[in-house]
Structure 1
Amino acid sequence: MVVMVVMAGLPGTGKSAVAGGVGAALGIPVVSVDPIESAILSAGIDADQPTGLAAYLVAETIAESVIAGGGGVVIDAVNAVEPAREQWLKLAARCGIAIRFVEVVCSDVGVHRVRLEARGRQLAHIAEPTWHAVEQSLDEWEAWTGETGSLPRITVDSVNPLPVLVEQVIAFVRS
């Protein structure tokens, strides 16, 4: 089964770690939006331009190419708003493949904050978000409504060990 697994979650919840584990377990690539945005900025595009949107569009193009070659893909992105989630839904429909949404949360605020403040992804031109920025982004997080709200989705809590999370997601993807 060719599938697109679409991650969603606030920065620092562990979604990239889960995405990497799922990609490795399924033998499919992970397309991550943040390194793409970093590359766009490294090319000299001004940060006041819509580089985040551009990164999502580049990720979509890469994912479509992988799918056209017969493979599945994991999309690693915040996907905080309905239009972003719909982008992946439309791609899956266009390519005629299954799609599974995976929302990663961290129910322990202290653990979430420590993870966020300890990470260092070494992405040129992209500063790690502060805890204050993550708290503010909660206000911008859109509920799962519309077409994506009616699709099956799994929510995993990253206070659990990574192997457990990956197993949960793999079981969901294969169901």
Structure 2
Amino acid sequence: SGRMLIATAGLPGAGKSSVAEELGRKLAAPVVSVDPIEAAMWRAGVTRSQPTGLAAYVVAETVADGVLALGQSVIVDAVNAVEEARAQWRALASRHGVPVRFIEVVCSDPAVHRRRLQGRSRGIEGFPEPTWEAVERRREEFAPWAGHRLVLDSVLDLSRNTATALAYLAAVS
């Protein structure tokens, strides 16, 4: 059928949302992003002391499940730093009998990554942009990969990375 679950991964500010959104446009596939879901929970009054990060992943999974049930591909935009998160997407794809494809976005130049992070404003109401220090802590928590993934370096042009990702997805679909 060609449908699949595409899960992006990478540190905040690495460029994964840009890749996910561009792939969404090119593939006419919805993008389910964890950060706006978590921000919506906070705006709804769920306190930050609650496990809203985990809850946002569960809500994203539910939305992606509905999209796959309609027979469409879906793109999940999330950090996916730990194996439990990655296993969640593998299990969802398995339940629907579709492949899951991971695309990790890195920024190989720390100075560029830091500048991007400090200069970005995604306009997600109630969602503060993480500090460089928070990203560095997240980097230390990032679990090694157990399975196959495409790694894109966001110091390269977005159109080039998108073309690489599309070729990867076409080759494995």
Question: TM-score band, normalised by the shorter chain?
Answer: over 0.9
Q: Please tell me whether residue 15 in structure 1 is matched to residue 11 in structure 2.
A: no
SS at the partner of 1:7? strand
Task: Name the aligned partner's letter for residue 30 of structure 2.
Answer: P
CA distance in 1, matches of 2:36, 2:12: 14
Q: Give the C-alpha shift of residue 125 in structure 1.
A: 2.5
- For 1:25 and 1:43, locate their aligned partners in 2 and report how far apart those are by CA, in whole Å: 33
Residue 122 (1) aligns with residue 101 (2): no
CA deviation digits over 1:105-159, x for unaligned, max 9? 00011110000000111222221100011111111110012xxx2xx31000000
1:12-161 to structure 2, matched below 5 A, reads: 12-145=13-146, 149=147, 152-161=148-157
Looking at structure 2, the residues matched to 67 and 23 of structure 1 have their Cα atoms a distance apart, in angstroms, of 14
Distance 2:120 2:150 in 1: 25
Seq. identity, %:
51
2:155 maps to a residue whose letter is V
- Structure 2 match to 1:170: 166
User: Which runs of 4 or more aligned residues in structure 1 lie more than 2 Å from their structure 2 counterparts after TM superposition?
Assistant: none
Query: Equivalents in 2 of 1:134, 1:156: separation in Å?
Result: 18
Q: State the alpha-carbon separation in 2 of the partners of residues 68 and 54 from structure 1.
A: 21
Match of 1:127, SS? coil
Q: Which residues of structure 1 form unaligned runs of 5+?
A: none
Q: Measure the CA separation in 2 of the matches of 1:137 and 1:153.
A: 20
Give the total of aligned pairs. 170
Q: Output the CA distance in 2 between the equivalents of 1:95 and 1:140.
A: 30
How far the C-alpha of 1:81 sits from its partner, in A, is 0.3
d(CA) in 2 for partners of 1:35 and 1:138? Answer: 21
Paired AA for residue 38 in structure 1: A
Q: CA deviation at 1:168?
A: 0.5
Task: Report the residue type matching 2:73 in the other structure.
Answer: G
CA distance in 1, matches of 2:49, 2:100: 32
CA distance in structure 2 between the partners assigned to 1:125 and 1:51 by the alignment: 13
2:165 maps to a residue whose letter is V
Distance (whole Å) between structure 1 residues aligned to residue 127 and residue 35 of structure 2? 8
Instruction: Determine the C-alpha separation between the residues in 2 that align with 1:138 and 1:9.
Output: 9
